[in-house]
A and B are shown apart, each in its own frame.
Chain A
């Protein structure tokens, strides 16, 4: 099975390297922007659209409970955010004014925990962090991604773009070669998507669970046989910012269902 993947990906790598000069930018033109949803089968789309059966909602429910609960006598999230957080997830990753650092949604949740709630930060892919990020993201469902890449964020944007354009791994493939130059084409049983993160945290059938965008990025790197970066790595957060800017205007879909 793996051998077939290797052959196909090698073929793709070879055809890409022989093709005409690569486009100067990695932008998908705005009128062509398509969510990963478009590349799913009707059954998987139906699962995402199902207001009861979408399995990501199990985490949203849990996040709802956590958001309103006061853990270890700390303040509950809701004690500051009485009006909810509609729209918040569309603006992440964003520069934290206090530290000047770029934070993704997970980083912001953990900053709240350590700074305002005297709680320990939650590790990536724990049920609790996924539940909180899914609950907060779900409040922005249907709203367009709207990250700010100006000012202090510009440098991170450039760093993310650089990661997206750089060939890596044993297959020597960049993100761009699949997700900008070849989206819509078949790769084995899959149709290559445009590589947007607007559905995350998402329930991936392959994972059989909800997972963060960082987990997806690690899988992409592993897929081209590159060493994935550790969870929470600054470069991945910069890549998240670049991806969000690249998908600017697409609606947030979390919790999406993906292959």
Chain B
């Protein structure tokens, strides 16, 4: 199970641009490293990130092996209405991890 950390403000005023941070535990194994016996360590990375705010995708990313281990993202969105933001990371094999945060917009 991957550990996830989210930073989303609890409250905001309608129209505010809010900062969002999302961090997930993942080795992001690049596929370019070798083990102690010289064997290539197979690539194993998260390839896709999506943030959905009340049913609409507001931000997404595609990761390649150049993204550091335990990837962190900081991005922004406009506070539109009270509701939930869902965050989903999907790896190259299709396995995915999700978490949610709620925001109250006044």
List residues of chain A with CB under 8 Å of any chain B CB.
Answer: 52-53, 55, 57-59, 61-62, 208-209
Contacts and interface: CB of A to CB of B under 8 A. Distances in A.
Contact of A57 (B5, B27, B28): B5
Interface stretch (B42-50, B67-75, B77-85, B87-95): B67-75
Contact of A53 (B21, B25, B28, B69): B21
17 contacts: A52-B5, A52-B7, A52-B21, A53-B23, A55-B25, A55-B70, A57-B5, A58-B5, A58-B24, A59-B25, A61-B5, A62-B1, A62-B25, A208-B27, A208-B69, A209-B69, A209-B70
B3 interface: yes
Interface in B11-49: 21, 23-25, 27-28
B85 to A, nearest CB: 16
A225 to B, nearest CB: 15
Interface residues of B, number: 14
Contact of A58 (B7, B25, B68): B25
B70 A208 contact: yes
Contacts of A55: 23, 25, 69-70, 72
Given A52-B5, A58-B25, A61-B5, 13 more contacts: A52-B23, A53-B21, A55-B23, A55-B25, A55-B70, A58-B23, A58-B24, A59-B3, A62-B3, A208-B27, A208-B28, A208-B68, A208-B70
Interface of B: 1, 3, 5, 7, 21, 23-25, 27-28, 68-70, 72
Contacts of B28: 208
A53 B69 CA distance: 13
Contacts of A59: 3, 25
Contacts of B70: 55, 58, 208-209
B27 A209 contact: yes
A258 B70 CA distance: 15
Contact of B72 (A53, A61, A208, A209): A53
A58 B69 CA distance: 12
Contacts of B7: 52
Nearest to A51: B7
A61 B24 CA distance: 11
A62 B2 CA distance: 9
A57 B7 CA distance: 13
Nearest to B70: A55
Rank and list the top 3 A-B pairs by shortest CB-CB distance, nearest first.
A208-B69, A58-B3, A58-B25
A53 B6 CA distance: 10
Contacts of A209: 27, 69-70
B20 to A, nearest CB: 11
